Structure 1
Amino acid sequence: MYQYTEFDKAFVRSRAAQFRDQLERWQTGKLSEDDFRPLRLQNGWYVQRHAPMLRVAVPYGELSSRQLRVLARIAREYDSPEDDVYRAAMDAQGLLGTTRLPTHYAHFTTRTNVQFNWIPLSKAADVMDLLASVDMHGIQTSGNCIRNISCDERAGVAIDEVEDPRPFAELMRQWTTLHPEFAFLPRKFKIAITGASEDRAATGWHDVGLSLRYNDQGELGFKVSVGGGMGRTPMIAPVLREFLPWTQIMNYIEAVVRVYNRYGRRDNKYKARIKILVKAEGQAYIDDVEEEFRQIVDDDGGPHTIAQEELDRVRASFVPPVSHDTGSSQKPAAIDALTREHARFGKWVQRNVALHKDPSMRIVTLSFKRLHQAPGDASAEQLEIVADLAELYSAGEARVTHTQNIVLPWVRTENLFALWQAACDAGLASANVQLLTDLISCPGGDFCALANARSIPIAEAITERYQDLDELDDIGEVNLHISGCINSCGHHHSGHIGILGVDKDGREWYQVTLGGSDGTVRSGAPQAGKVIGPSFAASEVPDVIEAILLTYRDIRNTTDRRESFIDTVRRVGIDPFKAAANAARMSVGASA
């Protein structure tokens, strides 16, 4: 993991001190609400439907055990209403009986950040001081700036990786933080980097997607895509450069952002993302970027060219940890025997354990998808347990995933059984990774003021219906993504099955899409799903999903191998599934 320098530490501490002063001035009336709002947003503090929400930056998803314990402390001591004000306000709106109210929780997001939903602003400065004590903050997790840079959660350990992207992500994090030209963009701006052939970072769906590769001459560089995004107008980022030398990547991003800053719309926030500019201008935008890049390199001398010694300096923080041994007597051969002896352990190894660049190690996913807990939520107790497991079995390191789980990247093969037993005790050993119940969901209308509908009850209803692991295994890999509004925080566009909350006459309804992909090898090239018809009532959604899956099981091809859900949808189209969904709606209506 990257180790903060004394400069980094001092910077984060001073930012926390500045925020404390700003908060106190706002509390005493020296700063107006309008003046304070951009200051709190620049530190990750939103005001949501019922209470403040803090978004904590987790660059490229990495968390140390020490950081996990501080997040647990924040959840336990601060993530709770200060008094009964919030509860009384919700009671007045008739929401107490319908809205999830867990406190003392953190929430993992699809961009590998951590959020808290119930911290009173009166305690915000204390929380920022705690975060700063472990080199964490909320800087640029909000606002029209370059946001937290995300990576493949298997960065540095994946067997299909050509180069570790984390050193480049760290260099970009340092460069973009408080960069004045990146601070007031037309709209928020997101970058994702992968160094693997399997695109687990969903780069095609980002404002800038970067993929490390070697050219025919054996030189390292980036494939650069610009202009992807979800929201009202889902777009896949077109490729601007098939190969750009790694030394020039920041100069090139500077050119991309300068042109966006110059021509991006500021009169309409729904048309302000860079994807709209790229789509509207096409080749003209690309030509402008190339000319801007030429001027930066030729006229200015390439001021952001990465020197080899600088890359080496940062790379030194990302070396594999010193081999550690917890004293387990289970050797790899014995682990193989245990998978046969213990069926549940065998299923867990099959679904939740991946091969590692080091043959003596494995990559383990702890599932945070279980009944009666919202996808991605982690209690204070669970955060502390993960910290313990990371220290015991993963060199003190854990990573947040794009799918709202936690990965332990440094697990020795002989420790798998002991880790599984500990994960079972903690309720984090569901063998459902990449199956239907390993679904992605935003917090939706339970918390977010922008949401048209609640996401969590839909996720709960589907999860409750599919608790049989044998049934889930038979269905196979299905990516189900749920968003509470068109802003797409639940990435419904990229789900094999997507569910979108919509408002119809002041009531909650849900659109269903099929055939989306985030760009992984299993799912194929990134693309947006297609809407299968009119929206459905909340009570109809579980039956609609069941009808879609039953149709898949009836028509899938099993001649050579069991055809996956996404492959079946692409082979036959959406019409059979649309008919099944509408029939399910009629059935629910008739029974009602």
Structure 2
Amino acid sequence: MYNYTDFDTAYVASRNAQFRAQVERRISGALTEDEFRPLRLMNGLYLQLHAYMLRVAIPYGTLRSDQMRQLAMIADRWDKGYGHFTTRQNIQYNWPKLSDVPDILEALAAVQMHSIQTSGNTIRNVTADHFAGAAADEIEDPRPTAELIRQWSTDHPEFQFLPRKFKIGVSGAPHDRAVTKSHDIGIRIVRGGGGQTGYEILVGGGLGRTPMVGQVIRPFLKKADLLPYLEAIVSTYNLMGRRDNKFKARIKITVFENGMEKFRDAVDARFEQIKREWTGVDADLIAHIEQSFTPPAFRNAPEDGYETARKADPVFRSWTDTNLTGHRQPGYAIVTVSLKAHGATPGDATSAQMRLLADLADRYGHGELRISHEQNVVLPHVHKSDLWALHAALKAQGLATANIGLTSDIIACPGMDYCTLATARSIPVAQEIATHFQALGLEEEIGALKIKISGCINACGHHHVGHIGILGLDRAGVENYQITLGGDHRENMTLGERTGPGFAYDEIVPAIERLLRAYLALRDSREETFLDAYRRLGDAPFKAALYPAEAARDAA
């Protein structure tokens, strides 16, 4: 786990002191809200529907147990006893008072955390695979790369006022769990022809009102060239990107309007300029970063009682079937803790739950936690002999829901319950879908399914890449929910196709039920997932289920 150097500590302290003075000036009236807005956004502070919202960075989704405890303390002392984990591997506090925010930032700094560049037109929190350092298919831990990028991009003088916000994601495995193709820049660690590791660089991905799949701009980049090449991409975008229309200001539009060939040529020319002046990264810094991510001291111990417990307890067996992932170390498992108990707000965790997760990470998980882009918490290193005890402790705090990858494991943005940009509610729709299919007893029968819900066109809920995507819009003052089908966020990313007219708030859950009952009737076996069935059959039978009256008219 990365630990701050003296420079890091001094830098964050300086930024916090600067923002404290800015807050004092805003409260005194010396700064207007318009003057204060760019200053607060530089520090992750938004003004939402009901209150300020503070977004705290969890770089590449990695947390120490003491950091999780501090997040719990902040939730209790300055918020309403909970926090919300996001699809960008951040945590958001929805109810802080402006006067308390400087104290919150000081509390974060005490455990080497901050909210710098979690908003604004700059390079945001760098995300990574939530199974980093543990996944069995991993080529290389992506977190050292992500940390290097974080340090390079933080307060980079050229990139503080980009045409629009900018997002970078890093994956270290062939199976992409970091949604790299939806990022402005996606980075995948790959092996070259000689077996050496390097990077495949993608550019121009993004969701929102104009969703696009990232394209490969460089199939193999030497590791030593990473920062100058990233600088070439971002500086080229900074010059070519549009500033006349914020909806056309993202790099995906720059690439689309200029064409990949022209954009690549401009990047290559800039890259050659930068390389001539590039002196490399300090070797001591590289060593410090790499040493920060050495694996923990794994136990070489028998898996006492694990299979016995699975056979004896069907509840435990169900949880192990859905919430565990194979680990690269024999005898260990990756545990995903669901923050999607049926009827709960996706991504929310109470302070008590945060403290429990911190304690369990210390007891069973080498003190490490991860936050996934799917709004769950991961204990990346748990020995199988500890899983029974871990499950029992999670169950006591409502954290043992066995639903990872199932119908109720829904990604949902905060929607109109909190967000000033939202045009429809997301949270209640997610809650009702989860409880509805639980009541029907169909969740396990349906099997693997990714439902993603956004409350506006900005797509913070990733609806474009859901097997079933739901987009809430405002139609003449009434909530209307569009459905897309066939999206996939993985390495062969595809965007879902819109099915037709939207549904009213009270119609959306019945529509999803018709859709999934059609799938159960049409699949060729229990092993065929919804996405596989959709790809095999096309959209016609699913549209017929969604719009039965229209299908009946066509048949007549």
Report the TM-score, using the length of structure 2 for normalisation. 0.96
* Cα distance in structure 1, aligned partners of 2:440 and 2:89: 27
State the match for 1:383 in structure 2.
Answer: 354
* Cα distance in structure 1, aligned partners of 2:539 and 2:174: 29
State the match for 2:137 in structure 1.
Answer: 160
| Aligned with residue 203 of structure 2, among 197, 216, 226 | 226
Preserved CA contact (<8 Å) 1:439 1:479: yes
Preserved CA contact (<8 Å) 2:342 2:408: no
Preserved CA contact (<8 Å) 2:470 2:483: yes
| Within-5 A mapping of 1:507-586 | 507-519=478-490, 525-558=492-525, 562-583=527-548
- How much has 1:28 moved relative to structure 2? 1.2
- How much has 1:322 moved relative to structure 2? 2.9
Gaps of 5+ in 1: 80-102, 588-592
Residue 31 (str. 1) matches residue 28 (str. 2): no
- How much has 1:31 moved relative to structure 2? 2.1
* Cα distance in structure 2, aligned partners of 1:357 and 1:71: 30
* Cα distance in structure 2, aligned partners of 1:570 and 1:473: 21
SS in 2 for 1:17: helix
| Aligned with residue 431 of structure 1, among 383, 398, 402 | 402
* Cα distance in structure 2, aligned partners of 1:76 and 1:538: 34
| Cα shift readout 1:443-494 (whole Å, capped 9, x = no counterpart) | 0000001000000110111011122696322211100000000000000001
* Cα distance in structure 2, aligned partners of 1:152 and 1:519: 11
| Within-5 A mapping of 1:401-412 | 401-412=372-383
- How much has 1:405 moved relative to structure 2? 0.3
* Cα distance in structure 2, aligned partners of 1:427 and 1:471: 21
| Cα shift readout 1:210-269 (whole Å, capped 9, x = no counterpart) | 000111112211000000000010000110011000110111110101110111000100
* Cα distance in structure 2, aligned partners of 1:374 and 1:27: 33
SS in 2 for 1:290: helix
* Cα distance in structure 1, aligned partners of 2:268 and 2:429: 46
State the match for 2:88 in structure 1.
Answer: 111
| Aligned with residue 418 of structure 2, among 447, 452, 466 | 447
- How much has 1:585 moved relative to structure 2? 9.9
| Residue type at the aligned position of 1:536 | F
- How much has 1:334 moved relative to structure 2? 1.9
Residue 249 (str. 1) matches residue 226 (str. 2): yes
| Residue type at the aligned position of 2:255 | V
* Cα distance in structure 2, aligned partners of 1:342 and 1:308: 52
Preserved CA contact (<8 Å) 1:248 1:306: no
| Aligned with residue 417 of structure 1, among 388, 396, 401 | 388
Residue 284 (str. 1) matches residue 262 (str. 2): yes
Residue 207 (str. 1) matches residue 188 (str. 2): no
State the match for 2:166 in structure 1.
Answer: 189
| Within-5 A mapping of 1:234-313 | 234-282=211-259, 283-297=261-275, 299-300=276-277, 302-303=278-279, 305-306=280-281, 310-313=285-288
* Cα distance in structure 1, aligned partners of 2:444 and 2:478: 35
SS in 2 for 1:487: coil
Range with bigger deviation, 351-360 or 413-422? 351-360
| Within-5 A mapping of 1:139-178 | 139-178=116-155
| Cα shift readout 1:163-206 (whole Å, capped 9, x = no counterpart) | 11111111111111000111110000000001111100000000
| Residue type at the aligned position of 1:346 | R
Preserved CA contact (<8 Å) 2:73 2:351: yes
Identity of aligned residues (%): 49
| Within-5 A mapping of 1:303-382 | 303=279, 305-306=280-281, 310-323=285-298, 331-332=302-303, 334-382=305-353
| Cα shift readout 1:333-361 (whole Å, capped 9, x = no counterpart) | 52011101111111111111111111122
State the match for 1:484 in structure 2.
Answer: 455
State the match for 1:460 in structure 2.
Answer: 431
Preserved CA contact (<8 Å) 2:464 2:484: yes
* Cα distance in structure 2, aligned partners of 1:256 and 1:468: 50
SS in 1 for 2:253: helix
| Residue type at the aligned position of 2:5 | T
* Cα distance in structure 2, aligned partners of 1:306 and 1:470: 56
- How much has 1:17 moved relative to structure 2? 1.4
Preserved CA contact (<8 Å) 1:354 1:364: yes
SS in 2 for 1:498: strand
* Cα distance in structure 2, aligned partners of 1:389 and 1:585: 53
SS in 2 for 1:204: helix
Preserved CA contact (<8 Å) 1:543 1:584: no
- How much has 1:365 moved relative to structure 2? 0.7
- How much has 1:126 moved relative to structure 2? 1.2
- How much has 1:37 moved relative to structure 2? 1.1
Residue 16 (str. 1) matches residue 13 (str. 2): no
* Cα distance in structure 1, aligned partners of 2:200 and 2:284: 23
State the match for 1:75 in structure 2.
Answer: 75
Preserved CA contact (<8 Å) 1:441 1:482: yes
State the match for 1:98 in structure 2.
Answer: none
SS in 2 for 1:182: coil
* Cα distance in structure 2, aligned partners of 1:469 and 1:398: 34
Preserved CA contact (<8 Å) 2:208 2:459: yes
- How much has 1:32 moved relative to structure 2? 2.4
Preserved CA contact (<8 Å) 2:544 2:551: no
| Residue type at the aligned position of 1:564 | T
Preserved CA contact (<8 Å) 2:370 2:377: yes
SS in 2 for 1:370: coil
CA RMSD of aligned residues (A): 1.7
- How much has 1:384 moved relative to structure 2? 1.0
- How much has 1:309 moved relative to structure 2? 5.3
Report the TM-score, using the length of structure 1 for normalisation. 0.91
Preserved CA contact (<8 Å) 1:229 1:275: yes
| Residue type at the aligned position of 1:565 | F
State the match for 1:93 in structure 2.
Answer: none
Q: Per the alignment, do residues 310 and 24 of structure 1 end up closer, same or farther by CA in structure 2, a change over 3 Å counting?
A: closer
| Cα shift readout 1:311-344 (whole Å, capped 9, x = no counterpart) | 332110001123479xxxx942520111011111
| Residue type at the aligned position of 2:338 | S
Gaps of 5+ in 2: none
| Residue type at the aligned position of 1:161 | E
Preserved CA contact (<8 Å) 2:129 2:178: yes
SS in 1 for 2:442: helix
SS in 1 for 2:453: strand
- How much has 1:131 moved relative to structure 2? 0.9
* Cα distance in structure 2, aligned partners of 1:468 and 1:557: 25
SS in 2 for 1:430: coil
SS in 2 for 1:347: helix
State the match for 1:90 in structure 2.
Answer: none
| Residue type at the aligned position of 1:322 | A
